[in-house]
Structure 1
Amino acid sequence: MKDALKPRLVARALEEGFVACRICKPGDVPHVRERLDAFVAAGYHGQMGWMAERMAWRGDPQALWPEARSVIMLAESYAPLHDPLEILEHPRQGAVSVYAQGRDYHDIVKKRLKRLARWLVAEAACEVKVFVDTAPVPEKALAQASGLGWQGKHTNVLSRDWGNWAFLGSVFTTLDLEPDAPEVDHCGSCTACQDICPTQAFPAPYQLDARRCISYLTIEHKGPVAEDLRPALGNRIYGCDDCLAVCPWNKFAVRASDMRYHGGAGGDLATLVALDDAAFRARFSGSPIKRIGRARFVRNVLYAIGNSGDAALRGAAAALCDDPDGAVADAARWAVARLDVA
């Protein structure tokens, strides 16, 4: 029964829009806890205290749901239509990470996972749980254990079949499915992702110091960003794609199956910096950007204004020097000072 089910499951997953479907066991990632302990001990997690608080689950998928016998790992492409680094040549425009330029992937991927899970329950009368990045699941490690891809030197999952522009999702099930062979590393001697990082956030290959990562600084980090890191942000106002964009395996990138991932979330810095809370919420309704709130977003835009070298933006920054949010006011004063000497 299970031998006949697996190929139908994979076929169904592809019909749903996933680019790949592989299977592993919850206990196939025994190294995760040790690596997570080292990551947190080094302080690389920065302000992401939730990583330290839920390490028991994040370090052991079996502990998350003891009844699970198999983990179905899935990848969904969000490959960009254009070179994501091109926007960096236009300092008056805000650069937004490719994954956040359209609709929130959590909603889209989870709906696909739920449809696949319902199909599986109907076919095999099993129990299931679906996860998309919001639970303490070591998705990257499970992806490699399942053969979906491998964790590259930039710490993200990539594949020889679809590059590294993909969201990961998982279906935990009580079914005992035949696992796939784990994937091996194919990064070789390439250091493109390490070399391009504007803030040198990789202390070593396969290691990330989130405290220096632009994605972390613009999304997770609360309060002012360290002044020595601000110039390296350039015009990146939400996330960073540099290490992903230069990966040579992207020559095999698969076109996104859902065009809702693509949109125009960035825009003119002068317009974005003037957003009040209501305008921010309206503009980014249904977008991942909405979760960081107006203050953190405008803080990022002000750093971009300070890096723009465009004196015409000075007035927009100066208008926020007394903003009620301390981080925004600090960023505004920094931007004005930068433009005054530009």
Structure 2
Amino acid sequence: MKAAIIVESSASTALELRDAPTPEPGPQQLLLRVKASSLNRGELLPSGKPGARPGGVEAVGEIAACGKDVKGFAEGARIMARCKGGFAEYALVDASEAIAIPEPLSWEQAAAVPIVFLVSYDMLVPYGRVRPGDWVLVTAVSSGVGVASLQLAKALGAKVIGTSGSSEKLEKLRALGLDAGIATRGALAAEVLRLTDRHGADVAINNVGGSIFPDLVRAAAYRGRIAIVGYVDGSLEAPLDLAAVHSNRLEIYGVSNRLRSAAERAETVAGFKRDCLSWFADGTLLPLVDKVFAFDAIADAKAYFDRNAHVGKVVLTM
């Protein structure tokens, strides 16, 4: 089968197509005939470990085979899931990660769901405890996780402020319900407090990294929650105003797909199915696909992705 490999040098990554053997499912796994996948910044950033590794952390497609102990799934079913090696004609999926694709979604739309919406669900529901009327601040709101967080927060009844270096991107996202946009990182906290009539952000999502963290602490509401999910600025350290955390009773938590146990991942998938899947079926949530590339043009897809011109997800089709 054809598969794409991430080749990492000392300072960059590239995607290369290679031949690979078709995998065999284990007892609790599904073999997926991949129809589409999508690019995610986290796996394409240099990890500090030069070499080659399978590409793709999510995929959608039809079940080609089921492991001997799998229950509740059948060959031919349409599913979407987080996985390893999703940039390939076939991929293995743990049955506990598999999610039936709601009927209205195309392959391309479904490919824009697993990673970003599961991360957003984790941040906003079990940890963020977002309620109707809350203010949610989403930094880098035009990113994949940013757009999904905007959409999910609106479905939960929240008011959303988004940040971006591009006024044009913010304007595009008003169609998805963005209540206010901040087109600069300067004076971020002051602008959030102004927009919320001094209330602050009940939940703040840090998609950027350490450079923006002090502003999020200053922008947080009393009993506010701050989620840390990305480091696109490359900054892994930031000063911490302990007095603000203490006096405002703030909660700070990290959200990561990579470091979670299988049981934790399965718990998130089960909660997402219970709380959110019907919103894709009735049109409340519609994944935002920016551009679609054929699998053979995966190098072009990465070049486009690296230019950071997209709003939402960049998708590959097989």
Alignment TM-score, normalising by the size of structure 1: 0.22
Query: Which of structures 1 and 2 has the bigger CA Rg?
Result: 1
Greater relative CO, 1 or 2 (CA 8 Å, sep 6+): 1
Higher strand share goes to which structure? Answer: 2
Alignment TM-score, normalising by the size of structure 2: 0.23
